[in-house]
Structure 1
Amino acid sequence: MLFGARAHAQDAAAAAPSEPASAPEADVTTSAPELDTIPVAGDEPAAVQTDGGSSPGLAEIVVTAQKRKQSLHDVPLSVTAVGAEQLADINASDLTDVSYYIPNARVDTDDAGSPQVFIRGFGTNTFNPSFESSVGFVEDDIFYGRGAYFTEAMFDVDRVEVLRGPQGTLFGKNTVAGLYNVISRGVTDNFSANARASYGSYDDFRFEGGVGGMFNDWFGARLSFMTHQNDGELRNTYLHRDENDLNQNAGRLKLRILPLDDVQMDINLVRSDSSLNFWPYELAKLDEGTYNYLSSFDPDVEDDPNDFKTEFNAPGFIDKGSSTESMKTDWSIGDLGGIHDAHLILVGGYSKLYINQLNDLDVSPADILNLYNHEHYNQTSVELRLEGQSDSLFGLGKSVDFVTGGYFFRSNYRLLAQIVAGKDLGSFVLTDDFLQLATGNSNINLITALGLPGLPLVGQLLAPVIGNDFYQFDYTQQTTSLAYFAQATWKISDHWSLTPGVRINHETKDLETAGTGCPDKLVSGLCFTSLLLGANDYDVPGKRDETDISPKVALQYIWNDNLNFYSSYARGYKSGGYNSLSYTGEDLPFKPEKAATYEVGFKSRLFDRHLNFNTTFYYTTLDNLQVLAFHGATTNVGNASATSRGVETDVQWLTPWRLLTINGSFGYIDAKYDSYPDAPAPISDGIGATQDLKGKTIAFAPKQTATITPILTVPMPWNLMMRLSGDALFQGEQYTDTDLDPYTRVGGHWEYAARMSIANQDNNWSVTIGGKNLSDKRVANQVTDATVFPGSYFVQQAPGRELYATLQLNW
């Protein structure tokens, strides 16, 4: 749904002036014959004439959720679309900002290397690099195979489409929970340019702009760029620096070549680089022994998880970036036998990604364990598809729209990571925390009772004995996928249509995973890091060879042009793999995920298209859900099975008071494990304890999500207009760790945002002031067990209050 995408009749322009808009793309100006007007998301909203001929209604929203341009109203899927206008209005800088307005969706991008993305309660913790995301990411027709692409620069965007439920038929593997489909602005017929500058709390500065158009009848280009700096909200009082401070730069060059009248070639070159001080965690719930030990390194150490202060000693960082080159060729064949408006489309792309980072694993002023991580990834993909329509299905019924094609994907991934002993590991060995980890008995309190002083000095004396002490992970994986897909929409009659589809995918993975203890230890046979982690050396090659068939079928009943009902069944698939962060080399394989979803819903345009109301009910079963379990200093991977059921609703209402539009959304999730017998238990049950989570709720699955956004547009003197808008955002209670520890539970809460914009009637400029989380609500995004301090926790806070001002120019 596009907030604020309201249409205005020409005779009503003075009373309700249109909002700032981006220029329409040259390649998406065709409109479906059954609709009055279908502008692309982000285009100038056009009037939709009703039977009376004078009353303005809400503009259509065009999406490509089925790889062809359609009105959102006609797509038999649960889809929410956010256009360029709303992205600018809410001052969105990443997909986390967007997700607040998507029912039953969650995106956590505080960890730029391992973002967590969930739809309908299902997702993957990509902290383990061998896990691929269960939510797919596609940008400008290119599927990206690593979750880290979710945190690459998002700029010059025309719209974001969020497709819920398995999307395996048209978009392939790794879409068992859904898909984020991002479309950037394209080359326009006429020369156009835009720029947007924003400044806000914590010295947040973001500038993006784009310029281009067709230079002649066969060549055009668009150049866009973005720079973003932010000091970060989390203060490290030990290192006297800001954590999560961001420095991000990106650019995109689009070329359009029309070598023939019926051939269009689009070349897309993108580059993004980011660097930031890193580790967005705070300590919480320190026991007496842990506090006494850490305060000997920093007397100001504290465990308040809501004050945006941390005290770890390692100057962590993350540097990451990507480059992508892609080309899309669209040959408009026209009539091909009995096929009309046939298009042969070839999409090819190459992308590479790098991540280098240092993390303080103990998140404390003591130098105990650090993680060095280096990742290198590249992928090549080619898709060839044929689209078109016929008058009937072999003389039966009415028209058939179809898309069919083949897909090739190959990727190479390399991980080299080291858990390195710090200079204070020797003193940590003399603490109750170490004894608890070594014995598995969390009730040991011998040293706390003795109150031994001088532990930092002990650590310094033992540092030469520990020497170059580390545990290293080395993981390589090559993936090759081949797929054939086909989907058609058969209009059986004026009221019924049927959409069957299938994708046949074959995938191979050749991999090797190894773990090695410190080879240069000074004391032969003794490796403190391996001892602490319970690790040993291993080197295991692996191979996976999997074939999957993902079918889909949707039945749609079209009551009239403004109301339709649909039901569907779809399957999705994500391949299995081997654990890349094992300490023992045991139980390495994990199975592929397979999801099946049933949906029933309706899409309506009511009251002369003044109210859009779309609702979907769903039921999803997911077999072999890939789960990551934290056990203190160790992590394990495995499989579970789960069921999620619920509802999502999008609403857009152009009220009788024509200056006011009200938009909203609502989501409900009931997601529970059907089987998870060896799940991690809360630390209060003992170190390494397990539990059976059958029938228990899934973490990161809030019961309810809701938004309501009133938008008031007021004409002003001097050819100006004012726009006032606000958001009330609700997120229900949820657990933020797999073990469902009560301490990791975040209660339901509301957050509020507001904005005021002044613009001229010609949409050449606008000035906005606004704020997010105006009540400064302090809540946690995630809470996990502390790595080496049993009974304590790491907390990652959600952002506090943020104020900002923006200036936007359009030419």
Structure 2
Amino acid sequence: MKSLFKVGGAIALLAPGIAVAQVRDGGGSEIIVTAQKRETRLADIPAAINVVTGAQIADNGVSNFEDLTSQVAGMSITSNFGGVASTTVSIRGVGGQDDYRPNGSPSVAFHVDNIYQSSNVFLSVPFFDIERVEVLKGPQGTLYGRNSTAGVVNLITRGPDGKFDGYVQADYASYDRFRAEGAVSAPLSDRIGLRLAVLTDQGGGFMDGKGAGPAAGTQMRPQVPALPNPGVRDNYGDRNLWAGRATLRAETDGGDLTLKLWGSRDRSESQPQDSVAGVSNGGWLEPDNDPFTFYSNRYPRRKTDLFGVSGTLTQKLGDALRLDLVAGHEESDRTLDGAPGAPLRINQFIFTDKVKQTSLEARLSNAKDGRFNWVVGAYYLKDKTDFGTTLFYEDSRFTQIETDYHQKRDSFAIFGQIDWRLFDRLTLTGGLRYTTESSNYFGSTIDANPYGISLGVGLPLPVFFDNDFDDDNLSGRASAKFDLTRSLSIYGAYGRGYKAGGFDGTSIFSAPEALSFKSETVDSFEGGIKWFPASNLFNLSIDGFHYSFKNLQSSTSTPNGNVRTNIAAAKLKGVDVTGTLNLVRTETQQLTFDVGATFLDSEITRFESSNPVLVTLNLGNNLPAAPKASGHARLAHSFSMTPDWRLRSSVDVTYKGSEYKRLDNSLSAKAAAYTLLNLRLELQNAASGISVYAYARNVTDKRYYVDIAGPSRLMGAPRTFGAGARFAW
């Protein structure tokens, strides 16, 4: 561990990091965020929090949650199938073992405009017209509750600002990628404003499809159709995405009502996996080992339709109280075709799923800051998931397997938190949340046997199941913050978070595989310093943490098959460092260096299995998606050449240490460390509102893996160049 932190210190000084960005600068160090569900100075939050502004999101081409992980130290991504269409995200090494199926819930609690996303299907929400993203690291057992053991990510979109303004922006990049977005705000009256925003994202595929290659025409049995050959396709993996959002904001007497309506339509080509070392699934040998080519009997695509409507009411009740109501309804309809890096029809699949969720949160708090600041509230979530899979085994078992699964879930919570300024320099915070949850999971798995010669899957089919899960939990957090000076504070905190139990969403081949697993809990100890001088010359946050997990949820082999269950206890410790240094601040020039890094040390301390081989393979391993070091750094320069003309440039560096993508820490599931370098140059004219820009991403053309396991890998994007223009009024 000592050597880890020596290396970490050097990295923090040289490159990796993430800016603690200014969201609203009230002068000096008054950086305001809403991660505590009320406006709070960033310097006053006794926790690690990163903020990525809308400008940084636009500059760095962040178009989804997957891209966001490159901007925040300590975040990692695993994409089992189809890139962003089946994604799990981890923070500080927590969440890398999450279920990618739609009935599971991520360990990272994702919110869009304060609406919790109950299924990882909503991780494909596109980023456009963004105000900021707040990333709150560590278990959040009070204000966010269930499924926030890794932390919270809140995507906050822009709304009307009381005047007529807007922008249009378009750019063109390598591999024929074209992306355009725009928005317009208009006041409808003195108290009502409307903002409309739209997006299209097209092209950008960088994989070359070789069709079925030498395997074309293979026929394992006369009854089974010969292996088709879809032909050669260059630059496969193109996006075909459209999205829109309408925001209506109305001022009330003593309050504010915001309504949002949004939707997206995605008909993109799913980025396929490629085989490793020329050996793909099923043992088929590739003629080449080029990581940007793949072989398949079909070209996989996805169809994802997302829709959401939400309302947020903030209302003063007299002079002393404030009421907040947040309600939302969201739906998804998705079909995902998967090609696991081989032309043979072995383990190929088509996923179909529909998710509907409705949520309501009500909070009551004190209206004016004082010695006691408090909030009490209640939360309700209801969701339904209908999902199925077609598994293709024509070239091995001479059959197809069909699954049809359904899950209904209800969750209710009450919570409260109080901040007590015991004296001028000491603030104590305590909060509790009680959650009760119930769900029902039912469905079937059948052998479709379309050719009448099925060899089955080694277990008797069909399988039918109908199971219930009920659970409750008490979680919370307590902290103390002491102000050494007006700008320098220290804090310590203890928290308990939990991840709700539930059901395995992968294919069920025996009734015991459909039984429920228990909730996962984590005890968190944190401590750190925050230094935010009034001069705003720099700021610095350092956070140390130690987690202890019980009933860790993961997929593993059991006597009941390969299922998701409670398999382990684990410990995790580390340090987060974030900071900003304003190197130059004059009327004509600004030079800012943002830096941050996360250092982790994780270990599985107990592994429960009746198979001693599995215990040996997993005990003492690192947690998945938990690199020992990761970070991000940005050097941004702005120069006013004349009163109207300004030149902006930035150098952006992301570092990700090596990490295991699976629990068993096998070498075939280890992604090597990599560093990505991005450059950007922009010329702005303030008088006209026009700016033009050019950029290069992954300048060194580094080859890296988004995911790798066994014979398959999912490649990261190669070097790309792009240019664009923006007109704002």
TM over 0.5: yes
Residue 641 of structure 1 is matched in structure 2 by: 569
Residues 1:318 and 2:248 aligned together: no
Q: Is the 8 A contact 2:316 2:367 kept in 1?
A: no
Residue 538 of structure 1 is matched in structure 2 by: 463
Structure 1 residue 390: Cα displacement: 6.6
Q: Is the 8 A contact 1:248 1:273 kept in 2?
A: yes
Q: Is the 8 A contact 1:575 1:592 kept in 2?
A: yes
Distance 1:99 1:290, change over 3 A: closer
Residue 209 of structure 1 is matched in structure 2 by: 182
Structure 2 residue ranges without an equivalent (≥5)? 1-16, 212-230
Distance 1:522 1:77, change over 3 A: same
Residues 1:355 and 2:334 aligned together: yes
Distance 1:750 1:286, change over 3 A: closer
Match of 1:122 among 49, 74, 94: 94
CA–CA separation in structure 1 for the residues paired with 2:26 and 2:37: 24
Q: Is the 8 A contact 1:243 1:276 kept in 2?
A: no
Q: Is the 8 A contact 1:515 1:585 kept in 2?
A: no
Residue 376 of structure 1 is matched in structure 2 by: 354
Residue 675 of structure 1 is matched in structure 2 by: 606
Q: Is the 8 A contact 1:470 1:530 kept in 2?
A: no
Residue 488 of structure 1 is matched in structure 2 by: 418
Q: How does 1:463-612 map to 2 (within 5 A)?
A: 466=398, 469-518=399-448, 522-523=452-453, 527-531=454-458, 534=459, 536-580=461-505, 581-587=507-513, 588-606=515-533, 608-612=535-539
Distance 1:134 1:731, change over 3 A: same
Residue 799 of structure 1 is matched in structure 2 by: 717
Structure 1 residue 156: Cα displacement: 0.9
Residue 666 of structure 1 is matched in structure 2 by: 597
Q: How does 1:295-334 map to 2 (within 5 A)?
A: 301-304=287-290, 306=291, 308-334=292-318
Normalised TM-score (structure 1): 0.80
Deviates more, 1:762-771 or 1:473-482: 762-771
Residue 91 of structure 1 is matched in structure 2 by: 61
CA–CA separation in structure 1 for the residues paired with 2:312 and 2:175: 40
Q: Is the 8 A contact 1:166 1:572 kept in 2?
A: yes
Distance 1:191 1:519, change over 3 A: same
Distance 1:86 1:776, change over 3 A: same
Normalised TM-score (structure 2): 0.88
Residues 1:626 and 2:553 aligned together: yes
Distance 1:496 1:289, change over 3 A: closer
Task: Give the match's secondary structure for 1:88.
Answer: helix
CA–CA separation in structure 2 for the residues paired with 1:546 and 1:288: 42
Structure 1 residue ranges without an equivalent (≥5)? 6-39, 49-58, 296-300, 392-397, 430-465, 786-792
Task: Give the match's secondary structure for 2:85.
Answer: coil
Structure 1 residue 630: Cα displacement: 8.0
Q: Is the 8 A contact 2:194 2:248 kept in 1?
A: yes
Structure 1 residue 403: Cα displacement: 1.5
CA–CA separation in structure 2 for the residues paired with 1:167 and 1:492: 23
Distance 1:403 1:607, change over 3 A: closer
Residue 410 of structure 1 is matched in structure 2 by: 382
What do the CA deviations read for 1:394-417 (whole angstroms, capped 9, x no partner)?
Answer: xxxx61111111111101111121
What do the CA deviations read for 1:707-763 (whole angstroms, capped 9, x no partner)?
Answer: 222122222147311122102221112112222111322332322111111112458
Residues 1:387 and 2:365 aligned together: yes
What do the CA deviations read for 1:11-37 (whole angstroms, capped 9, x no partner)?
Answer: xxxxxxxxxxxxxxxxxxxxxxxxxxx
Match of 2:162 among 170, 189, 202: 189
Residue 777 of structure 1 is matched in structure 2 by: 702
Match of 1:100 among 63, 70, 91: 70
Letter in 2 for 1:102: V
Q: Is the 8 A contact 1:153 1:249 kept in 2?
A: no
CA–CA separation in structure 1 for the residues paired with 2:482 and 2:275: 55
Residues 1:243 and 2:233 aligned together: no
Task: Give the match's secondary structure for 1:586.
Answer: helix
Letter in 1 for 2:237: N
Letter in 2 for 1:488: I
Q: Is the 8 A contact 1:517 1:535 kept in 2?
A: no
CA–CA separation in structure 2 for the residues paired with 1:731 and 1:679: 35
Deviates more, 1:267-276 or 1:236-245: 236-245
CA–CA separation in structure 1 for the residues paired with 2:281 and 2:269: 29
Q: Is the 8 A contact 2:18 2:633 kept in 1?
A: no
Residues 1:655 and 2:655 aligned together: no
Task: Give the match's secondary structure for 1:583.
Answer: coil
Task: Give the match's secondary structure for 1:303.
Answer: coil
CA–CA separation in structure 2 for the residues paired with 1:135 and 1:172: 11
Task: Give the match's secondary structure for 1:743.
Answer: helix
Q: Is the 8 A contact 1:4 1:711 kept in 2?
A: no
Structure 1 residue 781: Cα displacement: 1.9
The number of residues matched between the two structures is 682
Distance 1:221 1:680, change over 3 A: farther
Letter in 2 for 1:252: R
Structure 1 residue 370: Cα displacement: 3.0
Residue 710 of structure 1 is matched in structure 2 by: 635
Q: Is the 8 A contact 1:294 1:366 kept in 2?
A: no
CA–CA separation in structure 1 for the residues paired with 2:672 and 2:301: 31
Q: Is the 8 A contact 1:390 1:399 kept in 2?
A: no
Q: Is the 8 A contact 1:2 1:86 kept in 2?
A: no
Q: Is the 8 A contact 1:138 1:179 kept in 2?
A: yes
Task: Give the match's secondary structure for 1:406.
Answer: strand
Residue 698 of structure 1 is matched in structure 2 by: 623
Letter in 1 for 2:511: G
Letter in 2 for 1:674: T
Aligned-pair RMSD on alpha carbons? 2.5
Instruction: Specify which structure has the bigger relative contact order, considering alpha-carbon pairs within 8 angstroms and separated by 6 or more residues.
Output: 2
Q: Is the 8 A contact 1:2 1:83 kept in 2?
A: no
Distance 1:605 1:763, change over 3 A: farther
Match of 1:198 among 161, 171, 179: 171
Q: Is the 8 A contact 2:112 2:154 kept in 1?
A: yes
Residue 458 of structure 1 is matched in structure 2 by: none
Match of 1:367 among 341, 345, 355: 345
Structure 1 residue 548: Cα displacement: 0.6
Distance 1:128 1:271, change over 3 A: closer
Structure 1 residue 112: Cα displacement: 2.9
Distance 1:555 1:758, change over 3 A: same
CA–CA separation in structure 2 for the residues paired with 1:718 and 1:240: 54
